[in-house]
Amino acid sequence: MVTDTAKNIIKHLEIRKQATAKELGDFLGISRQALYKQLGKLLRADKIQKIGRPPKVFYQVKIKAEVFTDGEISATDKDVIEKNYLFITPSGQKLQGMEGFAYWCKKNNLDVVKTAPQYTKTLKKFEVVKTSGLADGTPKIKNTFAQVFLDKVYYLDFYSIERFGKTKLGQMLLYAKQSQNKKLMDELIEDIKPKIQEVVKRFNIDAVGFVPPTVKRELQFMRELERKLDLKVPVIDIVKIQTPVSVPQKSLGKLEDRIENARVTIFVEESRVFNNILLIDDAIGSGATMNETAKKIREQKICNRKLIGLAVTGSFKGFDVISEV
């Protein structure tokens, strides 16, 4: 039941578009405790949303997605969308499932009912190249490089798919890194952790290496991933050295430049020898960094058997530079 106070909060936000808790409290003339009680109820009911972080926090009416009649979209399509779709709005709101899909359709002037089965069909197309839930990027890597030093390369998902753009993992990875959002990083890591653990188990991995970040940031996703996966296997020391001028991989558009960058700046410092090694990266575009790192491991005879590459996301085909992350 929506109280008169809650109705007044919504009405004020509809007029003002957004307001702080202090502004709402002054407008309503109620105590801080009573206000937050009402705000909590409205947040849980999805009537309003909270923007920002303390001390700068604003409230606004919840973004409403396109309305469609229940039953117009098949149960199968709804289930697929609810499990797989995520859209982060230009204003930074995270809309999942049908809510996000309907918002995206409306934003692109698309009929949500007609577009839903098209989304399901597109996902099925990309599922064809997946094995046990992993996208096999090995053929792409082999078609890109004259010599490949990895036995297999997998992605937890593609970074983006045709027409519909970035996948759920692609969206989360991009905005977790770009916005330096630790909460989003934690959510992403929690989501992918069981999948990575399964890969470690499936391939009898006895050592893991984390490809170091190439862009200097205060909060590094790969460092957070390494710390929170807690895989209980030795971690190979892979470092990226500092050059007189730092050149991020994502700034290089030519394949040969990416190969040179990785060859000169990535070093593996390891004296131990392992049977099966897993190399983990956040995103594989060309695959140059992953392949050059694998080459150094092979040359130093650190790996006796299998060397597997695994990325959170990867490009679908050809030499595709994922420059955003």
DSSP string, 262-304: HHHHEEEE----BSSEEEEEEEESS-HHHHHHHHHHHHTT-BS
Considering the domain 130-314, what is its CATH architecture?
Answer: 3-Layer(aba) Sandwich (3.40)
Q: What is the pLDDT of residue 311?
A: 96
- In sign, the C-alpha dihedral spanning 77, 83, 84, 85 is positive
Q: What is the pLDDT of residue 69?
A: 47
Can you give the residue ranges of every domain in the chain?
A: 4-61, 75-127, 130-314
| pLDDT per residue as tens digits for the range 129-162 | 888 889 999 988 998 899 999 999 999 999 999 9
pLDDT for residue 251 is more than 80: no
**Mean pLDDT within 273-300:** 94
| pLDDT per residue as tens digits for the range 84-114 | 999 998 877 888 999 899 999 989 999 999 9
CA–CA–CA angle 274, 280, 282 (5° rounding): 170
Q: What is the pLDDT of residue 228?
A: 93
| pLDDT per residue as tens digits for the range 183-239 | 899 999 999 999 999 999 999 999 999 998 877 777 889 999 999 998 989 999 998
Q: Does domain 4-61 have CATH number 3.40.50.261?
A: no
Asked if 132 and 203 touch (Cβ cutoff 8 Å), the reply is no
Amino acid at 140: K
Q: What is the pLDDT of residue 15?
A: 87
Show Cβ contacts of residue 107 under 8 Å, excluding neighbours closer than 6 positions: none
